[in-house]
Amino acid sequence: MVPVLLILIPLITGAALFAVKQEATAKSIALLASLLSLALMLAGMSGYIDAAQMTYDQPWLGGINSRFHFALDGMSQLLCLLTTLSFPIIIYSTWNNRYDDSNRFFGLVLLSQAGLLGVFMALDALLFYFFWELALIPLYFLCSRWGGERRIQVTIKFFIYTFIGSLFMLIGLIMLYFKAGGSFAWSDFLNLKMTSGQELGIFLMLAIAFAIKMPLFPFHTWQPDTYEQSPTAVTMILSAIMAKMGVFGLLRWLAPIVPSATFLWGDNFATLAVIGMLYASFIAMRQDDLKRLVAYSSIAHIGLMILAIFAPSYSGIQGAMIQMFNHGINILGMWIVVNVIEQKFGTRKISELGGLAQKAPVLTILLVIVALANIAMPLTNAFIGEFMMFNGVLGSTATKFGLAYTIAALVTIILSAVYTLRMIQRVFYGETNELTSKATDISFNVKLSLAIIVVGIILIGVFPKPLLSLTSEVSADILGRMNLK
């Protein structure tokens, strides 16, 4: 019953918020609903709720043999924890942001949360597709209604990309449905026997859809513009959580179901991931806009997860899983800082800022810790995930380019350190200017939000075993189904 409650809390609350008129009331209700979802998720993971309640399976559309089937295995728990943790932080850290029709804004935000949770728990292909669209549709309205000056054209581009991706995915799932004898069940898909041509066709349909969502080079061009023009709270959802939908899709709906095609085409997608990592890193070094810098940084980090999946090994797969969580909270911290700067100074231009450490020492300290995690310094959460992915790619027997991929990926880590530390130096150190000379330190809600993220960064960096234990069984199962265990 836990999966159903996790979805119903934001779904019902989000719909009800459209009838609430007061901004403060709408914001408070949204925060309370997100905290309730987090409490339920933590209760389920801690064992206070019986394990049988972590699954739900009932008939849905009997005429086409589709079921209302959800389950919370290790990977689903990790991503649902990321989702339920991120939404209260997003709402609370942007508490002072102002939106016209704020009740509709927060209503759409919670509807998106419901969709994301459904994606990560669904074990029925049609149900998975339904929640995939439920997660995306609210974001179209959020971007087009509350975005920047170029929001309409950017949202149209975002819509075209994601609509095409969703169409490919639907075709691939329907092909699987007929191959499974009229079943949408994930468990039935796992047992299919297909020819190499059939596997390839389904692989391409699903891989293109997931590549657009992550995004993978060269399907990435919607991402920087959308991140830049969206309200920062929406950008946080897109970057910290929604990008993981594509990575999750590879691990749940692609690699275990069409393992031969994944193996045969792995080098091609791994090469695209490496190209994207290098491209995004070099572009990030040239950015003067904070949002675009963090956006390109995100492409590079997601690229390493894709590389680890398509050059598979146990270490690489498990590293990619826990890095989905780690990257989510780290990039969320970066976006919080970007939002603070934009709200305080009305600009995101790095060249127009400087000396903020003198005026906002708490913000500076917290940002430096988040930035060190973002570049995978030892004793931060990202270090263990990236180390495992590099170890997996280098030692993988599924690709003949392991060493070359590893070297290229290491270059992007160095570049990440360069543009991240240079951004900190230009924005927070040096002399203040006319714009920053009257700056003040951050408010309590931002301090608390960043402090929660920093505590998570340090705890996971020092003691990553709970995440590793959570994902170990799922990782072994995926490798076993790919005959690479």
Q: Is the pTM of this model over 0.85?
A: yes
DSSP annotation of 185 reads B
Convert the pLDDT of each residue in 374-393 to its tens digit.
888 888 998 998 888 888 88
The mean per-residue pLDDT over the stretch 77-87 comes to 94
Does the pLDDT of residue 399 top 70, yes or no?
A: no
Convert the pLDDT of each residue in 288-330 to its tens digit.
888 888 888 888 888 888 988 888 788 888 999 999 999 999 9
Does the pLDDT of residue 421 top 90, yes or no?
A: no
Burial 417-433 (b: 16+ CB within 10 A, else e): bebbeebbeebbeeebe
Q: How far is CA 267 from CA 149, 226, 402, in A?
A: 40, 29, 10
Does the pLDDT of residue 38 top 90, yes or no?
A: yes
Res 484: pLDDT? 47
Res 400: pLDDT? 64
Does the pLDDT of residue 90 top 50, yes or no?
A: yes
Res 485: pLDDT? 42
Closest alpha carbon to 65 in 144, 180, 152? 180
To the nearest 5 percent, what fractions of the chain are helix, strand and coil? 75, 5, 20
Res 397: pLDDT? 58
Of 41-45, 65-69, 176-180, 397-401, least confident by mean pLDDT is 397-401
Does the pLDDT of residue 398 top 70, yes or no?
A: no
| Cβ atoms of 330 and 407 closer than 8 Å | no
Report the chain's mean pLDDT, rounded to a whole number: 87
Does the pLDDT of residue 214 top 50, yes or no?
A: yes
Give the separation between CA 370 and CA 373, rounded to whole angstroms: 5
| Cβ atoms of 370 and 363 closer than 8 Å | no
Does the pLDDT of residue 225 top 90, yes or no?
A: no
Q: Residue 287: which H helix or E strand, with range? A: none
